[in-house]
């Protein structure tokens, strides 16, 4: 068998590899729109001159932080954007022309749809020669164009070089674009094991570059191939540990689903129509599906509202029976990015007048309240204070949901065990 094909097959089956832990993670695609919205806010603030001159506390920190939370492949994605005062890089905080060039590249890529236009926008940014602002920007662009722009980091570059024998260097757009051409060719050759979404092939390279797998030998001789297969067998022998990693991730997803089911059942008991997020509807739960007994479609007034794509992904919605009035919107943040959940609630609140005051809830483990408050304190969420988003701890929901279902009236029962976040 072709050694790369053999390694790809092993990678797809590895419980601890990026394919199963990140690429197939159901929450992954849910975060695309919220990250795009975060990037749009960066552009808007730069264009209007309100971005400021620091990374800390900026809308860019918020957007990049949300990317960095997307499991292992993006860990450390924020490092390239941190202000290094001694080196004065990346030079987009104190140089207005450079800042505008950065924003215009992001805006152009957000608006265009074709490969040529995206590459042209990158080349225009590169021509500005902004000190310290290199291909790490590709991690922002990937969430706009996952079939055109692969993610970028040191491990991906190392994996590409090890797999192909190339000598791609960090920090230069020309090097990145050359690597991208090679990645596209690799992806086309092994498309049946990869995806149109370049996150898959980037994850494969990341796992090689981070040392999870030995790269196939470049020399084609039996001794070298046998040595590589021996090394690969050692990785396979560590599968039990990987299974534990995947089991922990699945348990996290199960807990998220269980809390959604609590909210589904409580909403129905209180007499509301209930909506479960589009991407979660078919999740198995108990002896059926998570969406059993829930709305199959949202009322047209919501389904056609601005931001409807994000509203459909809110974990659970309670609606007044037979109307488009949203009484309660619940985002369950078990271990996932709190940022993305807040953005989806904002899309509902700011995109229509169909939600009730005091009806926006972040539902999370009791010990995440501090993390939730820290996110809401970001300047990017300055409007949240007006919306009275409430924190609903798992503990209160678990302890009181049966009593609320039997004796509660409307949303007041939930308000009583939650608290407003400011």
As a whole number of angstroms, the distance between CA 209 and CA 215 comes to: 9
User: Angle formed by the axes of helices 338-351 and 369-376, to 10°?
Assistant: 50
Q: What is the pLDDT of residue 253?
A: 52
Contact 400, 417 (CB under 8 A): yes
The pTM of this model reads: 0.78
The pLDDT of residue 337 is 66
Q: Tokens 């089956």 — which residue? A: 13
- With a cut of 70, which residues of the chain have pLDDT below it? 219-225, 227-254, 335-337, 351-354, 357, 379-386, 422
Do 90 and 80 meet the contact criterion of CB atoms below 8 Å apart?
yes
Instruction: Name beta bridge partners: 276.
Output: 316
The pLDDT assigned to 239 comes to 53
Q: What pLDDT was estimated at residue 238?
A: 54
Q: How many other C-beta atoms are found inside a 10 Å radius of the C-beta of residue 289?
A: 15
Task: Provide the token pair at 202.
Answer: 């980037």
Given this model, what pLDDT does residue 234 score?
A: 65
Query: How many CA atoms, within 13 angstroms, populate the side-chain half-sphere of residue 288?
Result: 8
Q: Alpha-carbon distance 21 to 188, whole Å?
A: 23
Cα–Cα distance between 396 and 375 in angstroms, integer? Answer: 22
Write out pLDDT tens, residues 359-402.
899 998 888 888 778 777 776 666 666 678 889 999 999 999 99
User: Which has the closest alpha carbon to 42: 94, 135, 110?
Assistant: 110
Alpha helices in 69-192, H assignment, sequence order: 96-111, 115-127, 138-142, 154-164, 173-189
Rg (CA), the chain: 23
Phi-psi region of 129 (alpha: psi -120 to 50; beta: other; left: phi over 0): left
Among 367, 308, 372, 312, residue whose Cα is nearest residue 337: 372
Which of these, 348, 354, 316, lies nearest to 332 by C-alpha position? 316
Taking CA atoms, 312 is separated from 12, 27, 33, 186, 305, in Å, by 30, 14, 12, 35, 11
Distance (Å) of CA 33 to CA 28, 278, 341: 10, 14, 11
Q: Which residues pair with 364 in a beta bridge?
A: 393
From residue 199, how far is each of 29, 41, 129, 309 by CA, in Å? 11, 24, 27, 22
- Contact by Cβ (8 Å): 21, 245: yes
Q: Which candidate, 410, 358, 3, places its Cα nearest to that of 213?
A: 3
Could you tell me if 80 and 171 are in contact, meaning their C-beta atoms sit under 8 angstroms apart? Answer: no
**202 Cβ contact partners less than 8 Å away, ≥ 6 residues apart:** 73, 150, 151, 152, 156, 183
């Amino acid at each position: 068998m072709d050694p790369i094909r053999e390694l790809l097959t092993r990678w797809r089956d590895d419980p601890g590899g990026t394919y199963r832990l990140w690429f197939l993670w159901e929450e992954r695609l849910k975060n695309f729109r919220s990250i795009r919205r975060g990037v749009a806010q960066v552009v808007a603030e730069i264009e209007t001159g309100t971005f400021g001159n620091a990374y800390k506390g900026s809308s860019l920190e918020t957007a990049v932080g949300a990317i960095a939370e997307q499991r292992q492949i993006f860990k450390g994605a924020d490092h390239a954007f941190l202000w290094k005062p001694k080196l004065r890089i990346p030079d987009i905080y104190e140089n207005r022309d450079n800042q505008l060039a950065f924003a215009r590249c992001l805006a152009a890529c957000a608006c265009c749809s074709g490969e040529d236009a995206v590459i042209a926008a990158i080349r225009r940014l590169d021509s500005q020669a902004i000190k310290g602002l290199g291909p790490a920007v590709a991690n922002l662009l990937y969430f706009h164009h996952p079939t055109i722009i692969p993610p970028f980091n040191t491990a991906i570059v190392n994996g590409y070089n090890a797999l192909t024998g190339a000598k791609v260097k960090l920090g230069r757009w020309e090097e990145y674009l050359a690597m991208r051409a090679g990645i596209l060719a690799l992806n086309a050759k092994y498309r049946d094991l990869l995806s149109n979404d370049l996150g898959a092939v980037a994850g494969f390279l990341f796992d090689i570059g981070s040392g999870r797998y030995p790269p196939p030998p470049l020399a084609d001789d039996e001794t070298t191939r046998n040595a590589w297969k021996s090394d690969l067998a050692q990785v396979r022998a560590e599968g039990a540990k990987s299974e534990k990693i995947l089991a922990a991730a699945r348990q996290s997803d199960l807990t998220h689903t269980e809390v959604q089911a609590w909210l589904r059942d409580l909403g129905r008991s209180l007499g509301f129509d209930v909506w479960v997020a589009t991407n979660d509807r078919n999740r198995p739960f108990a002896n059926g599906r998570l969406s059993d007994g829930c709305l199959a479609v949202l009322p047209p007034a919501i389904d056609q509202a601005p931001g409807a794509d994000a509203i459909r992904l809110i974990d659970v919605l309670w609606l007044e029976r037979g109307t488009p009035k949203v009484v309660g919107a619940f985002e369950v943040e078990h271990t996932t990015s709190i940022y993305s959940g807040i953005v989806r609630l904002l899309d509902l609140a700011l995109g229509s007048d169909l939600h009730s005051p005091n009806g926006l809830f972040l539902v999370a483990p009791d010990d995440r309240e501090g993390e939730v408050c820290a996110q809401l304190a970001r300047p990017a969420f300055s409007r949240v204070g007006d919306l009275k988003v409430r924190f609903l701890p798992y503990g209160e929901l678990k302890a009181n949901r049966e009593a609320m279902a039997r004796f509660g009236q409307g949303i007041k029962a939930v308000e009583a065990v939650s608290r407003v976040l400011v």
